[in-house]
Chains A and B, each alone.
Chain A
């Protein structure tokens, strides 16, 4: 297997192309500009479409249209840009269209900064736009996972007719690591719902407006059934030295990698620490945390936020053990030493 050295953002773009994505609509924002830059170069070479829209709102609605016609389509942005896309994402979720959205998160709120953050967890996993809907949210912790998850995201989106969001932080977008690229996809699922021109067929309608409350209730209930199925089939996490751990650290993305270093050092000191790293942020791997709470003494959630995923960990653990939190924000990155000190403090019953 040939290894390529790629920047995370470029690797995401190439993985999308290998997954059959031929439509990309976006609007520039740091720190993910290498995705549209790469797409602008590659799409014309392979007969695809790269279009820089006049705004994020336009870009997501172009995604809506392309998805409706059955295309494999992607958009990418960073936090403030993702906020602007929320109306369109809600429409796409209701219309049950497949698409892939990449959010390379930067520090917020507001325009915030351009350094890495994880402060969009709530927005990405709890809705973000209006109404009852869910996105499948995948959180890679390396450039290789960024490739693998982006590639898989298109299949998941098609399988469930649902938007899939790749949640990375600025580090994932900017860092360079060796990757093995997957084969270019040549076979795709049939989309009998896509609006590709009537041509004598029955009329196909893509819509997110249901004036009759009885009908809209039914639509909601069917969406919920779909989300339950996704939760049953697709929930994923990585456990690292968690089996005998007295303290479980909960972290995702690049933060989890830093936490692994802390865990190695804690183990070297004789402290039994382990990690549970959610790979799907939605559906959340609640069961893994619930089971771990049966043997661990306590948990520590580490995030580049003021404490968002920690709420899901607490819900999963349901009071069985104390769940502490440690975070750095605004683009600051927690060091392995800080995480290590926080874990030792949590184990002593202290609060970080």
Chain B
């Protein structure tokens, strides 16, 4: 099984970190992984995206042009990348910030109100993990436990934040179950 993902949003939404969390979790599961960021004169508010591959086989090309899944955190990202998803693929839409619907009928679309759920959990910064929770529940690409483990390594000195991040992953997951 090979998951080829594009995660996109505006700078500051944590799309690059979302991708890193997934590949770290994949590595814990002994999967083959790669993470390739868009790098450019990116800044807060500009656009950012990353190509992520999680696979049982060695990764061939690290750049994703035919995505099995798109996670779009804002509207320009959805508009830019929705055509990159293969027929039968999945599109995750952050419906808190994206007020349009996906017109394609050959992909499965999940509308996830990431920012709204994060606000309800009391920390708007966990919006990305709401999205990841939905993605994980729909694909089983990695486990929530391993995402939590990689998050725990990243947040060595911020262990108090792990709880709300877990809640975010679970809330996102509950939406697609």
- Chain A residues close to B by CB (< 8 Å): 3, 5, 30-31, 114-115, 170-171, 174-178, 254, 257-258, 260-261, 264, 333, 335-337
- Report whether B33 and A171 are in contact in the complex, using a CB–CB cutoff of 8 Å: no
- Report whether B34 and A261 are in contact in the complex, using a CB–CB cutoff of 8 Å: no
- Report whether A257 and B61 are in contact in the complex, using a CB–CB cutoff of 8 Å: yes
Given A176-B20, A177-B34; A114-B39 close (CB under 8 Å): yes
Nearest-Cβ distance from residue B4 to partner chain A, whole angstroms: 11
- Report whether A178 and B62 are in contact in the complex, using a CB–CB cutoff of 8 Å: no
Chain A residues with CB under 8 Å of B32's CB are 178
Given A114-B40, A115-B40; A178-B61 close (CB under 8 Å): no
CA distance A192 to B147 in the complex (A): 53
Nearest-Cβ distance from residue B73 to partner chain A, whole angstroms: 20
Pick from A174, A264, A335, A337: contact of B60, CB under 8 Å:
A264
- Report whether B65 and A178 are in contact in the complex, using a CB–CB cutoff of 8 Å: no
- Can you name the residue of chain A whose Cβ is closest to the Cβ of B32? A178
Sampled A-B contacts (18; CB under 8 Å):
A5-B27, A5-B33, A5-B35, A114-B39, A114-B40, A174-B39, A175-B35, A175-B62, A176-B23, A176-B35, A176-B36, A177-B35, A178-B27, A257-B60, A260-B61, A333-B63, A336-B65, A337-B65
Chain A residues with CB under 8 Å of B98's CB are none
- Report whether A336 and B61 are in contact in the complex, using a CB–CB cutoff of 8 Å: yes
Nearest-Cβ distance from residue A133 to partner chain B, whole angstroms: 33
CA distance A337 to B84 in the complex (A): 13
Chain B residues with CB under 8 Å of A260's CB are 60-61
CA distance A186 to B61 in the complex (A): 36
CA distance A333 to B24 in the complex (A): 26
B residues 36-67 touching A (CB-CB < 8 Å): 36-37, 39-41, 59-63, 65
- Chain B residues close to A by CB (< 8 Å): 20, 23-24, 27, 32-37, 39-41, 59-63, 65
Given A257-B62, A336-B65; A174-B33 close (CB under 8 Å): no
Pick from B24, B40, B59, B60: contact of A5, CB under 8 Å:
B24
Chain A residues with CB under 8 Å of B39's CB are 30-31, 114, 170, 174
CA distance A333 to B63 in the complex (A): 9
- Report whether A171 and B62 are in contact in the complex, using a CB–CB cutoff of 8 Å: yes
Ranked 9 nearest A-B pairs via Cβ:
A176-B35, A175-B36, A258-B61, A261-B61, A261-B60, A335-B65, A257-B61, A177-B34, A260-B60
CA distance A176 to B150 in the complex (A): 15
- Report whether B65 and A176 are in contact in the complex, using a CB–CB cutoff of 8 Å: no
- Report whether B40 and A177 are in contact in the complex, using a CB–CB cutoff of 8 Å: no
- Can you name the residue of chain B whose Cβ is closest to the Cβ of A336? B61
CA distance A114 to B40 in the complex (A): 7
CA distance A258 to B63 in the complex (A): 8
Pick from B41, B60, B61, B62: contact of A177, CB under 8 Å:
B62
CA distance A178 to B150 in the complex (A): 14
Chain B residues with CB under 8 Å of A30's CB are 39
Chain B residues with CB under 8 Å of A335's CB are 65
CA distance A254 to B63 in the complex (A): 9
Chain A residues with CB under 8 Å of B33's CB are 5, 177-178
- Report whether A177 and B59 are in contact in the complex, using a CB–CB cutoff of 8 Å: yes
Pick from A3, A31, A170, A176: contact of B34, CB under 8 Å:
A176
Chain B residues with CB under 8 Å of A177's CB are 33-35, 59, 62
Chain A residues with CB under 8 Å of B35's CB are 5, 175-177
- Report whether A171 and B36 are in contact in the complex, using a CB–CB cutoff of 8 Å: yes
Chain B residues with CB under 8 Å of A257's CB are 60-62
Nearest-Cβ distance from residue A263 to partner chain B, whole angstroms: 9
Chain B residues with CB under 8 Å of A261's CB are 60-61
Chain B residues with CB under 8 Å of A3's CB are 27
CA distance A136 to B41 in the complex (A): 33
Given A254-B62, A257-B60; A5-B37 close (CB under 8 Å): no
Nearest-Cβ distance from residue B74 to partner chain A, whole angstroms: 22
- Can you name the residue of chain A whose Cβ is closest to the Cβ of B51? A175
CA distance A127 to B33 in the complex (A): 37
Nearest-Cβ distance from residue A275 to partner chain B, whole angstroms: 11
CA distance A254 to B61 in the complex (A): 8
Chain B residues with CB under 8 Å of A176's CB are 20, 23, 34-36
CA distance A299 to B92 in the complex (A): 42
Chain B residues with CB under 8 Å of A170's CB are 39
Nearest-Cβ distance from residue B26 to partner chain A, whole angstroms: 9
> Apart from A114-B41, A177-B34, what are 4 other A-B pairs with CB-CB below 8 Å?
A5-B23, A176-B34, A178-B33, A336-B65
CA distance A170 to B38 in the complex (A): 10
Interface centre among B32, B37, B62, B65 (most CB of A within 10 A): B62
- Can you name the residue of chain B whose Cβ is closest to the Cβ of A115? B40
- Can you name the residue of chain A whose Cβ is closest to the Cβ of B20? A176
CA distance A114 to B63 in the complex (A): 17
Chain B residues with CB under 8 Å of A333's CB are 63
